[in-house]
């Protein structure tokens, strides 16, 4: 622990990352005096009380700005064998609670699709997650369930994406759903991303098991946008080895375009073998940037060119104003 703490700076604290659910969000806690490694079960305080969590990030320096307004709370203790047995017992109780709650929902005639039941670690609260296409007045149901389970009851309506995340499944790609295996937060996904990547706008082709646009549409969208900046657009006139023609198709993965020649024939040409009006020369074209360069401070071609330009600009300002301080050069990418 002393070795880890020695690497923290004034704006960092030593924290351990834990998850309360598989593929759930990571929460940071102070390791206190415990020796924690990945996979260790701990008991940690939450807004609902004490909960069992699993360590997924060993103690490490974390920026204070990432911790949020509540700050860093310490881990209460290590989970014992009795705690783990209680967790398994709660799982069995949750299955029974799910069945009994479903019966009550049917009796009340509410438009709810029950998804999951969850007991807190100490059993003081029972939460039911449900999906519905409309707002549901479940106040009468809550009172009924409280008399059945003799504990605090909470009903929480979830979205279609959260519904799929809890249930799990297999996507069209044949792999386990991203949301239920590793995706912690749902990003913004739009139909524009499908258009940008040339995908068919058929809901059955671009929708996930949740019925919403697939999250994976956003994974490579930035690469497509970046690549298309160095390619001619649709209907643009280009010059090829076989003569002039009009672009009728764009293939980003192969860095090629389909060109319809004056003869009516359509031929696929690599982008580097054609020319078009407005195309920048290799010297004027912005350097290539790859996504793993360190967020704009890495060693890729674009980062090196940006740093060199900023250094030259800073030197010019220093010559013009010897007493002025140079601005910072670690600006992010546009």
CB 251 within 8 A of CB 257: yes
Question: Are the CB atoms for 14 and 59 separated by under 8 Å?
Answer: yes
Identify the burial level of 299 via C-beta atoms within 10 angstroms of its C-beta, where 0-12 means exposed, 13-18 middle and 19 or more buried: exposed
d(CA 201, CA 193): 10
pLDDT score recorded for residue 313: 56
Cα torsion for 58, 60, 62, 67, to the nearest 10°?
40
Q: What is the pLDDT of residue 32?
A: 87
Could you give the CA distance from residue 182 to residue 216 in angstroms, rounded to a whole number?
12
Q: Helix, strand, or coil here: 181?
A: helix
d(CA 148, CA 143): 9
Please tell me the predicted confidence (pLDDT) of residue 327: 36
Mean pLDDT for all residues in the chain: 84
Q: Using an 8 Å Cβ cutoff, are 72 and 29 in contact?
A: yes
Cα–Cα distance list, 11 to 60, 63, 67 (Å): 13, 6, 11
- Digits of tens for pLDDT over the chain (334 positions)? 444 544 666 688 999 999 999 888 999 999 988 999 999 999 999 988 899 999 999 999 998 888 877 778 999 999 999 999 999 999 999 999 999 999 999 999 999 999 999 999 988 999 999 999 999 999 999 999 999 999 999 999 999 999 999 999 999 899 999 999 999 889 899 999 999 999 999 999 999 999 999 999 999 999 999 999 989 999 999 999 999 999 999 999 999 999 999 999 999 999 999 999 877 554 444 554 444 444 444 445 555 555 666 665 555 544 444 443 333 333 333 3
Looking at the chain, how many residues does it have? 334
Please state at what angle helix 81-108 crosses helix 139-149, rounded to 10 degrees. 130
**pLDDT tens sequence across 100-112:** 999 999 999 999 9
Per-residue model confidence (pLDDT) at position 22: 86
Instruction: Give the Å distances, CA to CA, from 284 to 57, 230, 308, 316, 326.
Output: 44, 12, 15, 22, 27
pLDDT given for residue 283 in this prediction: 43
User: CB of 77 within 8 A of CB of 22?
Assistant: no
Query: Which position has the token pair 């860095």?
Result: 255
The pLDDT score that the predictor gives to residue 3 is 47
Q: What's the pLDDT at 324?
A: 37
- 32-66 CB burial, b ≥16 within 10 A, e <16: eebebeeebbbbbeeebebbbbbbbeebeebeeee
Q: In whole angstroms, give the CA distance from residue 136 to residue 157.
A: 9
């Amino acid at each position: 622990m002393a070795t880890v703490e020695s690497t923290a700076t004034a704006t960092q604290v030593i924290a351990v990352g834990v998850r309360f659910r598989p593929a759930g969000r990571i929460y940071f806690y102070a390791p206190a005096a415990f020796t924690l490694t990945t996979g260790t079960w701990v008991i940690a305080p939450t807004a609902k009380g004490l909960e069992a969590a699993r360590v997924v990030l060993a103690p490490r320096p974390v920026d204070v700005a990432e911790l949020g307004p509540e700050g860093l709370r310490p881990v209460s203790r290590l989970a014992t064998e009795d705690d783990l047995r209680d967790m398994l017992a709660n799982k069995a109780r949750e299955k029974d609670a799910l069945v009994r709650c479903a019966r009550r929902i049917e009796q009340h005639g509410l438009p709810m699709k029950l998804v999951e039941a969850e007991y807190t670690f100490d059993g003081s609260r029972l939460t039911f997650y449900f999906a519905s296409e409309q707002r549901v007045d479940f106040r009468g149901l809550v009172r009924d369930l409280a008399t059945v389970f003799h504990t605090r009851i909470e009903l929480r309506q979830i979205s279609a994406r959260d519904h799929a995340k809890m249930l799990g499944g297999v996507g069209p790609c044949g792999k386990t759903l991203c949301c239920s295996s590793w995706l912690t937060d749902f990003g913004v996904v739009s139909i524009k991303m499908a258009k940008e990547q040339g995908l068919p706008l058929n809901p059955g082709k671009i929708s996930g098991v949740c019925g919403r646009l697939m999250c994976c549409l956003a994974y490579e969208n930035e690469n497509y946008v970046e690549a298309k900046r160095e390619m001619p657009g649709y209907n643009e006139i280009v010059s090829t080895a076989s003569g002039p023609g009009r672009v009728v198709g764009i293939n980003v993965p192969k860095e090629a375009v389909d060109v319809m020649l004056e003869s009516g024939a359509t031929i696929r040409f690599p982008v580097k073998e054609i020319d078009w009006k407005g195309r920048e020369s290799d010297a004027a074209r912005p350097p290539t940037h790859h996504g793993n360069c360190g967020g704009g401070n890495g060693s890729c071609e674009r980062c090196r060119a940006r740093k060199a330009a900023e250094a030259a600009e800073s030197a010019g300002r220093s010559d013009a104003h010897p007493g002025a301080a140079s601005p910072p050069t670690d600006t992010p990418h546009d």
